[in-house]
Amino acid sequence: LVAREDGSWLVDGAIPIEELRHRLELDPLPGEERGDFRTLAGFILARLGHVPHEGESFEWEGKRFEVVDMDGQRIDKVLLRP
């Protein structure tokens, strides 16, 4: 989890959801309570419904999630913007 000067965060896709929520003070994510995913990458896959490509993004609760690096089929890095 790396804070950037523009207020965004560069986040590893493997970060546990609980840690991400705690560190960035996020509300519970949809599907989290059901155990649909455990990591940021899992949340993104659940939200999009497919394996994303680099540059793909979506918004949730006023935050923009952008996949900035893929390692094959694995979501490696995500840019989280306020």
Model confidence pLDDT, tens digit, residues 48-76: 999 999 999 999 889 999 999 999 999 99
**Per-residue pLDDT at 9:** 97
Confidence label for 27 from pLDDT (cuts 50, 70 and 90) = confident
Q: Which domain holds residue 50?
A: 2-81
Q: Which of 28-32, 45-49, 59-63 has the highest mean pLDDT?
A: 45-49
Q: Look at residue 44 and give its three-state secondary structure.
A: helix
Number of domains in the chain: 1
Burial (0-12, 13-18, 19+ Cβ within 10 Å), 78 = buried
Which CATH number covers residue 34?
A: 3.30.465.10
Q: Rounded to an integer, what distance in angstroms lies between the CA atom of residue 37 and that of residue 14? A: 11
Residue 11 above 90 pLDDT?
A: yes
| pTM beyond 0.75, yes or no | yes
- DSSP three-state, residue 5: coil
